[in-house]
Amino acid sequence: MQEIRRHFHEELKALEQQTLGGLELVIGQLDRALESISYQDVELAGMVVADDDRIDGRYLEVHQGILSLLARQAPVAGDLRVVAALLHIIRCVERMGDQCVNIAKLVPLSGYESPKDKDILDAIERMGQLARSQVSQSSTAFSSRNTELAQDLVRQDAEINRLNREIFRRAVQIGEDPEVREWAMFMILVARCLERVGDNTVDIAEQTVFVVTGLFREFADASSPSSEATPAT
């Protein structure tokens, strides 16, 4: 029995590493998507779209691995919480990958000239830096089971939300030139994608706290009221 449990924990740890490796793939995709926006690099944007298959493949590997593990074992207590959390996190990984693709697909649509407004581009770049930091921090928080690091993501996410609203206001006020306005509308969509990446890292942070404490609650942020903790069942 001890040998069986040892193998189980080895498999579970390997699945966790695969999942966290998926977050590293997201960081790479996010870096390239943001670079393609900054330099209107259509070729690089195409690479982001093509490489999404790697993230989708990672999602399938982890998802199927967890289902196989559940079919052969009956995890309880803390182990079961980790299994449930990994299923949730790998879904967040897949969604963040999709947001990187959405950003990349906007590059050829937004024109081949240089970006039209420095203030919007600076805000987009800042959002990208924050989103990248949040993805990295969410991975560190989960791997180290650090609830304080996880909860700090709410603070960072509030700044992403603020920048998202700032970009929207700037785009609305940008002027009458139709080309500039069209570009600004595309940047609103880019900002929305980055905002969703940030939201997914907060979801991962919630899973970190759930694994450690056995309680699940949605973190409060600038856009939602605080929620009461819900005991795990």
pLDDT at 115: 61
- Measured CA to CA, the distance from residue 162 to residue 112 in angstroms comes to 28
pLDDT in tens, 131-154: 999 999 999 999 999 999 999 999
- Quote the Cα angle for 94-95-97, to 5°: 65
pLDDT in tens, 191-224: 999 999 999 999 999 999 999 998 877 776 544 4
pLDDT at 220: 63
Long-range CB contact pairs, 179-188, < 8 A, 24+? 179/111, 179/116, 180/116, 180/117, 182/110, 182/111, 183/110, 183/111, 183/115, 183/116, 183/117, 184/116, 184/117, 184/120, 186/106, 186/109, 186/110, 187/110, 187/115, 187/117, 187/120, 187/121, 187/124
Q: How many domains does the chain have?
A: 1
Q: Which domain holds residue 45?
A: 2-231
Helix axes 77-109, 118-144, angle to 10 degrees: 160
CATH number of the domain residue 169 falls in: 1.20.58.220
- How far is C-alpha 118 from the chain's CA centre? 26
pLDDT at 178: 84
pLDDT of 75 strictly over 80: no
Q: Across the chain, what does the average pLDDT equal?
A: 89
pTM over 0.85: yes
Band of residue 59 on the pLDDT scale cut at 50, 70, 90: very high
pLDDT in tens, 150-199: 999 999 999 999 999 999 999 988 878 888 888 999 999 999 999 999 99
pLDDT at 198: 96
